[in-house]
Structures are given as C-alpha cells and as structure tokens.
Amino acid sequence: MNSSSGKSYMSTASSSVIWKAGGDVVADQFPAGLRVLVVDDDPTCLMILEKMLKACQYNVTKCNRAETALSMLRENRNGFDIVISDVHMPDMDGFKLLEHIGLEMDLPVIMMSADDGKNVVMKGVTHGACDYLIKPVRIEALKNIWQHVVRKRKNEWKDFEQSGSVEEGDRQPKQSEDADYSSSANEGNWKSSKRRKDDEDENDERDDTSTLKKPRVVWSVELHQQFVAAVNQLGIEKAVPKKILELMNVPGLTRENVASHLQKYRLYLRRLSGVSQHPSNLNNSFMNPQDATFGPLDLQALAATGQLPAQSLATLQAAGLGRSTAKSGIPMPLVDQRNIFSFENPKLRFGEAQQHVNNNKQMNLLHGIPTTMEPKQLSGLHHTAQSMGNMNMPVLSHGSQSSQNNPLLMQMAQPQARGQMLNDSTVGLAPRLLSPMGQPMLSNGMATNVSTRNGVPENIRAPSYNPVSQTSSMLNFPMNHTSELPGNSFPLVSTPGISSLAPKVAFQEDVNSEIKGSVGFMPSYDIFNDLNQHKPQNWELQNVGMMFNTSQHSNSLQGNLDHTQSVLVQQGFSTGQNRNSTVISKAMFSAGDSTGHVNAQNGNQHLNSLFVDNTVRVKSERVADAAPANLYPDHFGQEDLMSALLKQQDVIAPAENNDFDFDGYSIDNIPV
Amino acid sequence: MESKHVHEQIAAMRQSFFNEEVLNKNFSQLEQLEGKDNPNFVEEVFTMYLRDSIAFLETIEEAMKTIPIDSIKVDSILHQLKGSSASVGANKVLKEVNKTRQVLGKGNLERTKASILELRKEYDSFKAKLEPYFQLKQANSMAQEK
C-alpha cells in the first residue's frame, strides 16, 4: 500500500502513471504499458488474448488458473492495473475471483465468456465487474480497457475529494459520507461512484494537487477485519470513513481508502442480502452473522429492555422464520449463526437464538448501549463486508424488488433515514450493528430478526429472515429472554450500520412504518404490554430486526464472508419510549453469507425464503399500519399476523414450540 | 516451387476457407496479430487449438458413454470448445458446438450423440483443411528464406 498521500500513483509502471494532474492523461505513453493480468483456463484463448493485448502495447501477464492469479495479485498488489478474467474456469468461478479482487485489491476486473446470456452478464454487473466481453474477443474491445482503470481512479479520487480528503481536513466529511452512503446504499451500486466521476472537471482541477492515483491500498484480511470492526463499532449508520479511519488507526491509510472500501463493502453486503433479485438470493446477501457477532447488541438489548415481548417476537419470528428452520419454523438459521451476530440471538433462530442470545456473551445487551459488534463479528463482517461490498449494490436493488422482503429492503435502502430513527429510538441499544454489514442483512432478515436484537434475543432470527422481517420485526427480537427485557423499551437497535446497509436498511424505514402497523405481530411481547410507549418503537425495532441479512451462502463471497459477515442484525430498536422513529434496528446483517445465521441454517435459501415469505406476510398484515398508533391496534393485529404467519409456517408452532426461550409467549398470547 | 505459385496456392486455399465458411473473420483478426516478430503466430495458435479440441472431443465422447451421462460436464466442455473455436475463427466447428449444446440442453440423448458425431466430423474436416494450409505456408516461407 502506498502510504503516500496518494498523490503518487502507485502503479509502478511509469508509463501508466502518466496521470496528468489536470486530468488529461498524458497521451504520450498511457495507456501503453498498462499492466494487465489475463486469466483464462483455455490456452488457445489465453494465447490469443496475450497477443492482442501486447498489440495494444499493454504489459501482459497471463495466467491459466484463478488461484494462481489471485496469489499473484496478492503478492504484488500494486503490480497490476486491471484484470481480465474468464467466467468459466475449473478451479474457481470467475465471479468469485472477481469478488476477491474487488475486495482485496480494488482493481477493475473485466469478465469474459463465450456466453452472452443476459443472466450471466448481469451476474457480472452485480458482482462488480467493470465490463463484460463476449468471446471471441476482438482487439478493438481490448484497446479501450484502459478506460476502466482511469475511471476507477477518478472515482476514488473523487471519493477522496468528496468525502473530504484528509489533506483537506475532511471538509464535509459527514455529509458527504452520508450522502455517499445513502446514495450507495440506496442505489446500491458502486456505479454511483462512477457517476460521480462524471464530474471530471472537478476532478481535473484537483488532479493537479490531489493524487489522481491514490496509492493502492491492499486490504488484507487483517486490515479488513479492522475495518469491519470499526464499522461495527460505529454502527452502520455512523460509519463514516473519517471515523472508521480513526478507529482503525492504521498509519498510512487515508480516508479515501476507507471510503472506497466502505462503498465496496456496502455493495457487498447489499449483494449478499439480495443480490439476485430472487428472493432466495436475498438470503444470500444476508450476511450470516456468524462471525459477526453483533452480539448481543440489539437483541439482547431488546431483550433486556424487555420491550419487545420476546416471546411474541420469537413466536412471530419463528413463525415467519420457522419455515426456514426445521425448528418450529423459526428460521433459526440464525441461531446457528450465533456467531454471526453477536446477537446471535436476534437473528438467530428464535428458539435457539434466544438461548444463545442470552448466553451470548457477545451479545451486548444493549440496554441502551450501543452494541458494538464484537470483534469476532467484525471479522466476520469483514469478510462479508468485502464481498458484500461488491454486492451490496445488488442487494439494494434486490431488496426492493426481491421477494417480499422488499418492503423491508426498501426500507433498508434508507438506512440513513433509519439510522436516524434508530438512533433516536435506540435509546440504549444503539446497536451499532455492523452497519456495514447490516445492510445486506437487513434486507433479508429485516423482518425477522431485527426486533430481536433489541433485547429480545429470541428473535434474533432476524438476520436471515427477510421475509420474516416483516413479521419478524417482532420476531427478531431476541426474544429469548423475555424476562430479560427489562426495559421494555427495546431500543431497536437501529444500528447505524444499518443505514449503511442500505438495502436492508431501507427496509428499516419501511419497516418502521410498517412495523408499526404490522408490528402487531408482537403480540406476545411482554414488552409490548409494558411499554405501551415503546410499542411503537418496538415495532420499529422489530422492523429493524428484520434487517437481518440472511447471509447468503450462495454467494461465493459468502464462503468467505461467512464468518465475518455474520448477520448484522442491527436491531435498532429504539426502545425509547417514544421512539416511533424506526427503531428498525439496523439489523446488521452479517454479510457473512455462510455464517448466515439465517442462511446457515437453512442453507441460506431457507432463510431467504423465509424472509421472503415472512415479509410477504408481514406486509399483508401490516396493511399500512404505519402509524404507530396503529401499532397497538395492530399488534393486536399481530395476532392476525401471527396467525397468518403461523399458518404460513407450519413449523412455526405457536411460540411455544420453538426453541425460543420465550417465556412461553405464544402467538396466541399476544397481549393486546 | 516458385514462390509466386505457392503464394497463389496458399491464397486460394485461404480464400476457399472463407468462402466455405470454414473460417470466419476472427481468423483474419489473428492474422493481423501476426507480425515480423512472430510470423507463425497463427499457426501456433491453431496447433494449440487443434490439440486441445481433440482432447475436449475425446473427453466428451467418453463422457457420453457413461451412464448416466454427466451432462453438466459435457456442457462445460462444450462451452470451452465454443470459446476457443470462436476465438480462432473455426466457424463450422463453432456452429456444431452450439447445436450440440442446444440438443444436450433439451435432454435428448440420442440427438445429442448424433450431434456430437457431427461435431467430430466437422472438427476432423477442419483439421484436414487447415493443416495442409499451414504446412504449405511453412514450406513456402522456408523456401523463401533460402
């Protein structure tokens, strides 16, 4: 990594360095000498490509195995400017390689294949490829690949500029960040950065002074873990590059490095939660909070606060989630995930989660304490984040469209808004669920688990349940210890992170409103009863809980992320008594796909489906009861919802069945 | 042989390939890549292609004998063959590959087998045409060097 202020172009190739300050690329050399790494298992194609690239005057390195390519890149992070890779390779899927590169090295990657089907091209887009070439590749197509290198740098530069470079003293850091986040979150696409790039004029002017070419930072696993830890600590919502940078305290790391990485991370999370517009995909994006033990954050807190009738939540969740998991229907995958979310609880399965949640030391029962994800979680998140980063974008989009979760997801998309809400709401919990991660997760688990976080450990399920989220909002509550919920006011952990999760976060917002209405699910929430006031909030929280990201296993990244991404169930329950503001916990979905609390269980898919289903259900239930006031009535409506859910999920036996530790809340018991 | 004569012969051969659509424009692209520093680039590529393709085909043929047929594997190999054939400009071979993939996708075993046979035939024919061409070219350039 170049610790240099970024002004120096890291690339070693002098020719490629020719970046004019003014932004005009020195024509004399560039793009000649562009260092290209081409990966293709077919020797004939490889030979031809090498020849073509050489004819373009590029500096070519060829490689016939993805693993080799990856290790080459790792050993020499700044040794290449761009990578061209085949999709179809025996040892590693091209998209997986793409994700790795995107997260670890942040190099532009071009995919190529003999396939020109729309789906596969779309996959390239969602995985973060900057271009997609169809074989047979023509030399004309290769002549312009340098544009991707330039574009990327400009974007980074712009990031730097926008977010307030360190040099500039971080002017408008927060706003920009937020804007960036929101935009990325909302748009869920790294493309936004490309759009920013459009302001070339701006960049050009700055090129002179600022480093056009920022030193390429190598995001090693450790560094990424630190990053994820910082993000989790700050909370998705509050995770702005500047603060992350401070937390990470890595010498030589610039704010812009962090900013661009954060963007990727969000994309990744998003992607994990809902990359493929299919509901199932959503699951993937959910980060399995396995590693990301967001810990007790939200759920615990929620539980502690006793806001949410854990049981009811659990029940609901179970119901909703139940599908996914064998257990009483509670999409317990989360439970397993325990690791993922510190909460483990919330997202995790209800029954199980609860226990875990409770037991989870990690869970930071945020009784009002912003739960920071435990390092474990963070690391988990890291991974997921990475992958998610890239993917995040898709998630968002998916979220909105995908499965039912959409409602949730959409909500998630507005992490920021939610964040705010959450912040407000999360009185104590302040679950900062891995914000970064949270996003992806939320979308998935939105419904489900979020709520749990707030102290309803039981509902931890959230993470993976998106569908559930809807209903789960309640569910997510780590209901596990209903008893634990002291303060009723579950601060729906509106982990700031959630906002970043955008895709998921968006969910929150919607969820909040919805939760209110739909929150009714929490029929059995003791908390609910106790907290009349909280109710509205609780609901919110619940919604938040939904944000669990059912880590999507499927995603290739998932594999990596599994640990890290653990559900960022950020239940931003704002137990705040009057937190109407969406508590929607920022169920940080741990991107960790694998860990997928939720996903893990079901194998990801389940959760997703669960979530999806849940959300669907929830939605119907909610019926626009956005108004908190409605909540109450609604939550009685919860019963309906619950029943609806229950119906849907055979598994979800009335709260009792599950492993929930609920105090025997059963849907039937919904205290109205 | 008079080089001029051979030249003409080579040119004629080449043209016939295009006329018959044995080769397509990608082949021309490869030719353009050839230069002084690597005059035999195209031939090298083709040598590699022919060698790899035959291996692919043989693997496919073997796979078709197993029961049940691992169609995913077969399709995967066909996919690879598609990429390389397209890159070198082996037009007819490419078409056969595509056809075979389609039939395989539909699940008709018999038709797939038949299609693979066709593919093999096309490949053999392709090889039979191109090899003499390159040999001639090679001989010619050597003759010219003398």
Tokens at residue A428, please?
């104590």
Find the residue in A nearest to B90 (Cα): A136
Mean pLDDT of A280-305: 42
SS3 A446: strand
Q: Is the dihedral of CA A368, A374, A379, A383 positive or negative?
A: negative
Q: Which H or E run contains A131?
A: strand A131-134
Among A385, A319, A376, which Cα is nearest to A343's?
Answer: A376
Distance CA A587, CA A546 (A): 6
Alpha-carbon span A587 to A306, nearest angstrom: 18
User: What ranges do the domains of chain A cover?
Assistant: 35-159, 221-272
Contact B97, B82 (CB under 8 A): yes
Residue A503: CA count within 13 A, CB half-sphere: 56
Per-residue pLDDT at A272: 74
Go through A292-326 and write b for each residue having 16 or more CB atoms within 10 A of its CB, e for each that does not: bbbbbbbbbbbbbbbbbbbbbbbbbbbbbbbbbbb
Indicate the SS3 state at residue A548.
Answer: strand
What contacts A523, CB < 8 A, 6 or more positions away? A309, A312, A315, A316, A474, A635, A636, A638, A639, A641, A642, A665, A667, A668, A669, A670, A671, A672
pLDDT digits (tens, 9 = 90+) for B55-77: 999 999 999 888 888 888 899 99
More confident residue, A163 or A67: A67
Whole-number Cα distances in Å, A492 to A74, A470, B84:
40, 14, 56
Q: pLDDT at position B40, please?
A: 87
Are the beta carbons of A135 and B33 separated by less than 8 Å? Answer: no
Q: How far is B127 from chain A (nearest CA, A)?
A: 15
Q: Taking Cα atoms as reference points, which of A99, A88, A89, A155 lies closest to residue A126?
A: A99
pLDDT reported for residue A203: 43
Confidence of residue A538 (pLDDT cuts 50, 70, 90): very low
DSSP structure string for A14-68:
TTTT-B-TTSPBPTTTTTTT-EEEEE-S-HHHHHHHHHHHHHTT-EEEEES-HHH
Nearest to B45 among A48, A135, A137 (CB): A48
Name the pairing type of β-strands A35-39 and A59-63: parallel
What are φ and ψ of residue A118, in 5° steps? -60, -40
Amino acid code (one letter) for A276: S
Question: HEC profile for A170-239?
Answer: CCCHHHHHHHHHHHHHHHCCCHHHHHHHCCHHHHHHHHHHCCCCCCCCCCCHHHHHHHHHHHHHHCCCCC
Q: How far apart are CA A241 and CA A550, in angstroms?
A: 25
Distance between B65 CA and the closest CA of chain A, angstroms: 22
pLDDT in tens, A84-130: 999 988 888 899 889 888 888 888 999 999 888 888 899 888 988 99
Interface of A with B in 22-51 (CB under 8 A): 41-45, 47-48, 51
Average pLDDT of span A265-279: 67
Amino acid, single-letter form, for residue A84 = I
Average pLDDT over residues A195-212: 44
CA distance A553 to A598: 9
pLDDT of residue A334: 39
Which residues lie below 8 Å from residue A189, measured CB to CB, with a gap of 6+? A267, A393, A394, A396, A397
Mean pLDDT lowest among A260-264, A529-533, A589-593, A643-647: A589-593
Residues in chain B whose beta carbon is closer than 8 A to a beta carbon of chain A?
Answer: 26, 29-30, 32-33, 38, 41, 44-45, 48-49, 52, 76, 79-80, 82-84, 86-89
For A561-582, the pLDDT digits (tens) are: 334 344 333 333 333 334 433 3
Fold of A221-272: Arc Repressor Mutant, subunit A (1.10.10)
Radius of gyration of chain A (CA): 23
Number of helices and strands in chain B (H, E): 6, 0
- A111 vs A342, which has greater pLDDT? A111
B90 SS3 class? strand
Q: B76, A88: Cβ pair inside 8 Å?
A: yes
**Cross-chain Cβ contact B83/A114 below 8 Å:** yes
Smallest Cα distance from A138 to chain B, Å? 8
Q: How far apart are CA A496 and CA A68, in angstroms?
A: 39
pLDDT, greater one: A267 or B31: B31
Which A-chain residues 51-110 have CB contacts (< 8 A) with chain B? Answer: 51-52, 55, 86, 88
pLDDT of residue A390: 41
Q: Which residue type does A236 have?
A: I
Query: In a mutagenesis test of the B interface, which of A40, A42, A120 is the best target, namely the one with the most B β-carbons within 10 Å?
Result: A42
Tens-digit pLDDT profile for residues A628-670: 444 444 444 444 545 544 454 444 444 444 444 444 444 454 4
Interval B93-122 mean pLDDT? 91
Helix ranges (H only) for A306-374 are: 310-322, 333-337, 350-359
Mean pLDDT computed over A250-259: 83
Cα gap A562→A578, rounded to integer Å: 36
**pLDDT reported for residue A61:** 94
What's the pLDDT score for residue A289?
40
Q: Which range (A155-169, A218-232, A337-351) has the least confidence?
A: A337-351
Nearest-CB residue to A43 (from B26, B29, B48): B48
Alpha carbons A21 and A593: distance in angstroms, whole number? 41
What pLDDT, on the 0 to 100 scale, is given for residue B55? 94
Percent pLDDT > 70 in chain B is 97
Is the pLDDT confidence value at A371 over 80? Answer: no
* pTM higher than 0.80: no
DSSP class per residue in A355-423: HHHHH-SSS---SSS-----HHHHHHHHHHHHHHHHHHHHHHHHHHHSTTHHHHHHHHH-HHHHHHHHH
The identity of residue A620, as a single letter, is S
Span A468-495, mean pLDDT?
39
Residue B29, Cα to own-chain centre: how many angstroms?
15
Q: Which value, to the nearest 10 degrees, does the dihedral of the CA atoms of residues A668, A578, A183, A553 take?
A: -30
**Is A44 in contact with B45 (Cβ distance < 8 A)?**
yes
Q: What whole-number percentage of chain A has pLDDT above 90?
A: 8
Q: Class of the A35-159 domain?
A: alpha beta
Bridge partners, residue A607, by sequence? none
Burial of B23 (0-12, 13-18, 19+ CB in 10 A): buried
Whether the per-residue pLDDT at B117 is higher than 80: the answer is: yes
Residue type, A71: S
Q: Which of B29, B47, B74, B123 to mutate to test the interface with A (most CBs of A within 10 A)?
A: B29
Q: Is the pLDDT of residue A270 over 90?
A: no
pLDDT at A552: 38
Q: What is the mean pLDDT of residues A527-552?
A: 40
Q: In this structure, what DSSP letter does residue A84 have? A: E
Which residues, in sequence order, are CB contacts of B118 under 8 Å at separation 6+? Answer: B96, B99, B100
% of chain A with per-residue pLDDT over 70: 28
State residue B23's pLDDT score.
Answer: 93
The pLDDT value recorded for residue A527 is 42
Query: Residue A62 pLDDT > 70, yes or no?
Result: yes
Residue of B nearest to A47 (CA): B45
Alpha helices in A505-604 (DSSP H): 505-518, 526-530, 534-545, 556-564, 597-602
d(CA A235, CA A375): 13
Burial A245-281, CB ≥16 within 10 A → b, else e: bebbebeebbbbbbbbbbbbbbbbbbbbbbbbbbbbb
Q: What is the mean pLDDT of chain A?
A: 54
Q: Is A265 left (phi over 0), alpha (psi -120 to 50) or beta?
A: alpha
Quick one: pLDDT at residue B36?
A: 80
Contacts of B38 in chain A (CB under 8 A): 51
A326 close contact with B: CB closer than 8 A: no
Tell me the mean pLDDT in the region B89-110. 90
| Number of neighbours of residue B65 by Cβ within 10 angstroms | 9
Closest of A360, A365, A353, A453 to residue A659, by C-alpha: A353
